[in-house]
Amino acid sequence: MDLIVANWKMNYGGRDSLQLVEGLLERIKEPLPGEAVLCPPATALFMVGDRLKDTPLQLGCQNIFYEKEGAFTGEISPDFTREAGSNYAIIGHSERRQHFDEGPEVSRKVEAALDSGMTPILCVGESLQEREGGKAWAVVRKQLEEALEGINSEKLVGLAVAYEPVWAIGTGKSAQPEDAREMASHIIKELSYMKGLRVLYGGSVKPENIADFMALEEISGALVGGASLKAESFAQLIYWEK
C-alpha cells in the first residue's frame, strides 16, 4: 500500500495546523487509495491527533529522542508522541543531519520508535557533491548500516526508508525518476531480508511530478515537504493517478 507522508517541518502552530487539517478533510473521502500521514510540529501533535481520530488520515512526528523520559531538556519522548496518536516517526531527516549533526544516534531513535509502537520513516540521501563524486550509493549504504546496526530484523517489519537526495530538497529541483529507481533498487537489495519494506521518494515532490516517481515499481510512497503545506496540493498527492 502506498504511503504518502506530509512533513510540515517548522511551519504552522496549533491553529494553522488545524486549519490545514480541516481543508484536507474537506477534500478527501474514504477509502483512501493508500496511507496518508500528517507530521505537524511537536507543539501541534496533540491537537492534530485529536482531530484526526475517526478519520482516514494518520498522525506522525518529525523527530523523537531515544530515551523515554529523564533529564533531557527540550527533547521529545517517543512515548509522548505515541500518546498524541503518532503511528509514524520521521528519523534522520537530512535537515537534522545537516543542522544538528545527527548520525550515530539515529539507530537508537529507530529502535526507540519501534519500542514505542511507531513505524520509523528512516531518511537517507546524498549531497550533490557526493553524487557527482560517484559516492551516492556508498553514502546511503553507510547511513543504512549505521541506522539499523544492532536492531533485530524481526522488529523492523514494515520499515519505511525515504530516499531524499539532499540537493533536491527545498530547492525546486527533483532527481530524475531513473535516479530514484536506481537508488531504491540498491536499498531494496541491501535490505532484502526485511519484511514489508517500503521505499519512499522525497525531494520536491509535487502534483506535477509525483506520478513519475510513483509509477516506478521500486517506489512505494513519497515524503512531501512544501507541497504538503496546502490542502489542495497535498490532497492531489494522496489521489495521484496510476
Catalytic positions are 93, 164
3-state secondary structure of 102: coil
Residue matched to cell numbers 497535498: 234
Coil, strand, or helix at residue 241? coil
Task: Give me the residue label for grid cell 519505511.
Answer: 160
Residue type, 196: G
* Contact assessment for residue 91 and residue 109, using Cβ atoms and an 8 Å cutoff: yes
Residue 176, all three cell numbers: 530524475
- Residue 130 · residue 139 · CB < 8 Å: yes
Helix (H, G, I), strand (E, B) or coil at 191: coil
